[in-house]
Structure 1
């Protein structure tokens, strides 16, 4: 489908979108030294691929999927290879967890700590999360064509943008800014708004636990 037609469909479905808004990262974990220590330990466990350390820190009702068994055992299954499963698929899951725990996060109203921080952005109900991306960078070049030599249309900093084409393997994705500006952003700076997120929560005995790791909106 042509970029112009897709733009018309998306913008026509979202007439209230106007202007642009930036959401610079702010890591609220720094408010709680015990949380920072727990997060550091979880990041280190992921770096050394320590399944036992991660499952030991998981909530009994850990959420990974809607139809899974939940809890530490589902996390163990998620991070280990089933018979015949390509090792690359398991490694991709480890990398997704690593990226999520590396991101800055925020506290919700219940005191849980969520990562990445842009998960707190509430999209309008009429916006499809699967077609929405967060620009994870400052002054990222929005180009007029899908290559690094193309003229710069504008620069984008920590903004939500709409994909204007199906997922592709190209380095640049056609996107629409919330003010209707069209162009191409490098995929390295685009994080899907319906991607992975994780949550830490305090257990009844006062220790932090990993209580959610899931994707979707």
Structure 2
């Protein structure tokens, strides 16, 4: 499938009507069924952990989509992520490792990561929900470690619950994301355990005998 058609299909799969439901989205790693992909991913993660720029950039296809604004290939990565002076909440190396480490799904010849990409329930608006990626993640009554525990969530999709238009706040060395529980209560979860359905995702394709990164994008 041509890359642009694939990306359009992926974006369309995330478009849904608003809902206040809470859904389960357990992890999966469909790409692990291919030993060659496992080897490629392990090598990529090792290079990223070592911040080996040359090795990581070689993993990107020359025509890899890096943004929806025209950035592509290794040079697109350099310009959008590695250019001196650029400011981002998460550096390239951390972002790449976090994205690639969270399982995978397979669609045709493309392996996509994280695992929840393409798996969001169609009834849930990806811009109004977040995904809890962890087991027994505590939900607190206030955005602080001293907040009482309202309950815990394991690999759940939950609605955002912004406070006065604010989608996160920082306290006790953590960034806290406000969410709405099925009971209707607002709770707070440390962002270490929260991901956006339209956050960073990566796609991989085997060209000949070599796996390459086909896209590394965020947003819609």
Q: Same fold (TM over 0.5)?
A: yes
CA contact 2:142–2:148 (8 Å) conserved in 1:
yes
Report the counterpart of residue 8 of structure 1 in structure 2: none
Question: Alpha-carbon deviations, 1:70-112, whole Å to 9, x = none?
Answer: 1232123334324xx15x649712221121122211112x221
So what's the TM-score if we normalise by structure 2?
0.78
Instruction: Describe the shift of the 1:37–1:198 C-alpha distance in structure 2 as closer, same or farther (beyond 3 A).
Output: same
Number of corresponding residues: 197
Q: 1:26 aligns with which of 28, 47, 53?
A: 28
Q: Which residue does 1:168 correspond to in 2? A: 168
Q: Structure 1 regions of 5+ residues with no counterpart?
A: 1-12
Moved more, 156-165 or 20-29: 20-29
Matching residue of 1:93:
92
5+ long unaligned stretches in structure 2: 1-16
CA drift of 1:69 comes to: 4.0
1:190 aligns with 2:189: no
Equivalent in the alignment of 1:67: 69
Cα deviation digits, residues 99-143 of structure 1 (max 9, x gap): 1122211112x221111101122354772x344211111111222
Say if 1:79 and 1:94, in contact at 8 Å, map to a contact too: no
How has the CA–CA distance of structure 1 residues 149 and 125 changed in structure 2, closer, same or farther, with 3 Å as cutoff?
same
Q: Which residue does 1:112 correspond to in 2? A: 110
Equivalent position to 1:35, from 27, 34, 37: 37
Provide, for residues 21-43 of structure 1, a one-character-per-residue CA deviation record: whole Å limited to 9, x for no partner: 32221222321110000011111
Q: Distance in 1 between matches of 2:115 and 2:100?
A: 11
Question: What is the match of residue 139 of structure 2?
Answer: 142
- 2-side partners of 1:133 and 1:104: how far apart? 17
Matched, 1:209 2:208: no
1:198, 1:211 within 8 Å by CA — same for their partners in 2? yes
More strand by share: 2
Cα RMSD after superposing both structures? 2.5
Please tell me whether Structure 1 or Structure 2 has the larger radius of gyration of its CA atoms: 1
Distance 2:187 2:81 in 1: 38
Between 21-30 and 189-198, report the one with greater CA deviation: 21-30
2: CA distance, partners of 1:46 / 1:161? 31
CA distance in 2, matches of 1:135, 1:90: 19
Q: Distance in 2 between matches of 1:168 and 1:17?
A: 19
Distance 1:28 1:202 in 2: 15
Structure 1 CA distance for aligned equivalents of residues 23 and 123 of structure 2? 18
User: In structure 2, how many angstroms separate the alpha carbons of the residues matched to 1:73 and 1:30?
Assistant: 29
Can you list the C-alpha shifts for 1:142-178, whole angstroms capped at 9, x where unaligned? 2233333333322211111222112333243321135
Residues 90 and 76 of structure 1, relative CA distance in 2, 3 Å threshold: farther
